[in-house]
Structure 1
Amino acid sequence: MLTFVTLSSCVPKEENTTAINPEAYWGESPWPEIRKQRINQLLPQAMEAANVDCWLVVCRENNNDPIADHVGGENAGGTAAFLFYRDADGFHSKVFSPSGEATALDEMDIHDEVVKVSGSSAMGMAADFIKEKNFSRVAVNSSSSNSMADGLTYTQRMSLEGLLGAESKKLVSSTDLIYEWLSIKLPEEVEVLKKAAKLTAEWQVEAYEQIIPGKSTDADIARFLKQKMAEYGVTDGWAADQNPNVNSGPDRGHSHATDKVIMPGDVIQIDFGIKVYNRWVSDIQRFAYVLKDGEETAPEEIQFYWNSSKAGNRAAFNAMKPGATGAEVDRAQRLLMQEAKSENVPWSTGHPVGYVAHDVGPSLGGGMSTRVRTVSTKLLKEGMTFAFDGFHAWKREDGTEKTISVEEMAVITANGAAYLIAPQEELILVRTKK
């Protein structure tokens, strides 16, 4: 079935037609309870997978650790030390916090114990506790490969090593631990992502309804989507200047929408993501073709490009299952690209998405490379969420390149992958009402 968007007005809609109360629409953020569950359920598993006994996170005001709000340290003033550890009695959390923040932190009921620090050093007390417990491996946030695991500053590291003395040899990077922890999303989080994905896709279809060929610009359509975001009280899924990317011309990669006028015969890409509850992010693309006079369907070659892109997306989807590598998923759709004689594209088939657009987890890339990046050899696991594409790129008449990239979102389940929302099946057709 073809999807048509018919236009009768002559300018893009600017006014909101429905009054939305964002606070009532979204309700209270589920993050506080989800964070507790993630700490108590997923973090012990991540520590076991990373083979660490203890994890130390140092939080402070103004230059905080990037993982701070995942452990409850987002309101740190003076230096606070958050410890998560495993021993014979199970999993525990303990915080050494300046007295000014300790009461509020304790009332958040995230941690087993909050110790007020007055007249002494939180890091010093944490170091004493680490030595007392005689842990074998203590993870700290120093990483050369993951920015989320690289929050410990040089001076903090030097101070900690001085306090630990000979025990500092037990310090290891938290790279693996944070990878294992953040890459998995709870079912409750997947439900939030579904809601975000649904709005993202619906608004893109609605945005196509605003197009007046020969008048509307890519930037006009981007502004419409910004208005929808404001109406619903959500923020950008990535850099605001490049979200959404509406592009009716040749490929521009990750970029901003321009003042190019949308014309009959254009293939239009909208790459768009929103952040909900100031926490979870969507990343969805929808594509349309602007019919020329006398056309009722897209030209045969455009329909072929669309079908090829969609087939690549479905091939990647079918390859996404627990135990598969990111490179295997990438290869599944690139083989179809070769068969369809697509031009090469520089982008990976997909990436993790969740807390940010390019989240922690396996990269779905490198499937046709002889030297695969480590992150593409990582195994997909149940609970991981991805945004992923099927590609077809071709040369336009002017020699520039255009790519259709059918981008959807999915979660890995025990039996394979599941789309978060129904995928785009047909190329949206935009035409002007006579």
Structure 2
Amino acid sequence: MPAPVDRTLPDPTRTVPLPLRAQADVRDRWLTQRLLDVLPGLMDRAGIDLWIVLGREYNEDPVLATMLPATWLSARRRTVLLFHRSDDGVTAAAVSRYPVGQFLPAWEPDETPGTTAEQSQWAALRRFVDQAAPRTIGVDSSPVFAHADGLSHTEHGLLVQALGPHADKLVSAEQLAVGWLETRLPEEIAAMHAMNRLVHQVIDEAYSPAVITVGETTALDVAWWIRQRFADLGVDGWFQPTVDLQRAGSLLADERGTPVPSVPFDAVIEPGDLVHCDVGLSTLGLMTDTQRNGYVLRPGETGAPAGLVAAMAAGNRMQDLTTAALQPGCTGDEVLAAARAAAAAEGLDGDIYSHPVGVHGHGAGPAIGMWDQQDGVPGAGSAPVRTDTVWALELCVRVPVPEWGGQLVRMGLEQGIALTGRGVEYLDQRQTGFILIPSS
């Protein structure tokens, strides 16, 4: 006999990962709440009273993918979603051959004899627009954010043709699309706490004798173990995990003359190594992005050398300066400039390249630097910081380590944070000390 079905309401804030069926319940519940509580304000802020989001199977608009029922793993044929803002809220309708979850059906494929299904579908869209009589019609086109540029060239041409005189009302929905993607519900933020906690637990396990046999295990072995561990737990990675090593006496300079580690990516882990990972987890339609550092104890050591401890403290200080500058209303470039100026005043040498994270790992919203753009990021850097968003606080500092002969160590840190009306909060907890890896 089949196992009984657990009908209790799943709580992603306590248990991650959830079974697939429970995940679907959670995601559909979140979508309902977002349409009711989040979307009206976003449409008002963007000045758009009709938003058209459409895409064809296997060529989904990134926004469309976030609005489909959890059991839809892609669009089906051509899927058109319509969001009409009125005094009563937002009417969410679908012009689709198949029912789209909670969206009101706005088309019967066989309703117009003598026409093709495609002609009938575009006619149904036009009829909806005629009845809505919008002042502005937002579509997903953007020169800055790929997430908000999902309307394909072909679909744009067909849409303009179908809209007729309404086509003059078309405007970019960039601000609306970015707002939809970057804004998180309180329960989503709570779930991301749990997701970050799971990532930290997996990294702790990866940096342990259960996985690492010093003198035998390679950094590449650990990276693949992390990816396999995610799969075994029932979650995905949104990029291939990386694990790299720094060690005394192994240093080269990059094209800018900056010292960088020169230990091969497939090198065997040895005593005295600084082990660094970059890991991204995906579940519940959300992403994390995390970097953590471990130190391989030499015989007789009980902790990392004081110079490495100081480097970690410098990285934490750079985090403090960046979160202090992360103020709602500031642009990403303004946050970057303020944090870098504060760091320079304290003699910290480092880079800041933080980004929103949520529906996408490198999410929609303001960029706070990139590793190769420390004076500002054209386009994305001018977007404003907003509350109810989640970030990957990503940065590095470069610090000389006396115990390594003054060699510069690059201390890379990346930690999930949430920016709410209460300020910045770390998701689970940030790293302030090394994960210690015994040599034997």
SS at match of 1:64: coil
SS at match of 1:303: helix
The within-5 A match list for 1:374-413 is 374-394=379-399, 402-413=409-420
SS at match of 2:108: strand
In the other structure, the counterpart of 1:182 is 181
Shift of 1:166: 3.1
Gaps of 5+ in 2: 1-14, 255-259
In the other structure, the counterpart of 1:58 is 54
SS at match of 1:115: coil
Judging changes above 3 Å, is the alpha-carbon distance between structure 1 residues 400 and 114 closer, same or farther for their aligned structure 2 residues?
Answer: farther
Output one character per residue of 1:223-249: Cα deviation in whole Å (capped at 9) or x when no partner: 22123212211111x22xxx3111113
Aligned residues: 398
Output one character per residue of 1:178-236: Cα deviation in whole Å (capped at 9) or x when no partner: 01111100111112211110010111111111333322210121122123212211111
Shift of 1:293: 3.4
Which structure ranks higher in relative contact order (CA pairs < 8 Å, sequence separation ≥ 6)? Answer: 1
TM-score, scaled relative to structure 1: 0.82
Percent sequence identity over aligned pairs = 27
In the other structure, the counterpart of 1:263 is 270
State how far apart, in whole Å, the 2-side matches of 1:342 and 1:388 are. 17
Output one character per residue of 1:298-354: Cα deviation in whole Å (capped at 9) or x when no partner: 233222211111111122223334334323433454345435655554x51x11111
Is the aligned partner of 1:248 residue 2:235? no
State how far apart, in whole Å, the 2-side matches of 1:21 and 1:55 are. 33
Is the aligned partner of 1:115 residue 2:107? yes
Determine if contact 2:217/2:268 at 8 Å carries over to the other structure: yes
The within-5 A match list for 1:194-273 is 194-210=193-209, 211-236=212-237, 238-239=238-239, 243-249=240-246, 258-273=265-280
Is the aligned partner of 1:32 residue 2:28? yes
SS at match of 1:72: coil
The within-5 A match list for 1:31-430 is 31-72=27-68, 74=72, 76-98=75-97, 101-102=98-99, 105=100, 108=101, 110-118=102-110, 119=115, 120-210=119-209, 211-236=212-237, 238-239=238-239, 243-249=240-246, 258-277=265-284, 279-335=285-341, 337-339=343-345, 341=347, 343-345=349-351, 348=353, 350-365=354-369, 373-394=378-399, 402-430=409-437
Farther-moved stretch of structure 1 (143-152 vs 356-365): 143-152
State how far apart, in whole Å, the 1-side matches of 2:106 and 2:287 are. 31
Shift of 1:171: 0.5
Amino acid at match of 1:353: V
Judging changes above 3 Å, is the alpha-carbon distance between structure 1 residues 76 and 292 closer, same or farther for their aligned structure 2 residues?
Answer: closer
Judging changes above 3 Å, is the alpha-carbon distance between structure 1 residues 212 and 62 closer, same or farther for their aligned structure 2 residues?
Answer: closer
Determine if contact 2:16/2:198 at 8 Å carries over to the other structure: no
SS at match of 2:62: coil
Amino acid at match of 1:78: R
State how far apart, in whole Å, the 1-side matches of 2:22 and 2:54 are. 32
Amino acid at match of 1:34: W
Determine if contact 1:351/1:363 at 8 Å carries over to the other structure: yes
SS at match of 2:96: strand
Gaps of 5+ in 1: 1-19
Determine if contact 2:291/2:414 at 8 Å carries over to the other structure: yes
Determine if contact 2:57/2:76 at 8 Å carries over to the other structure: yes
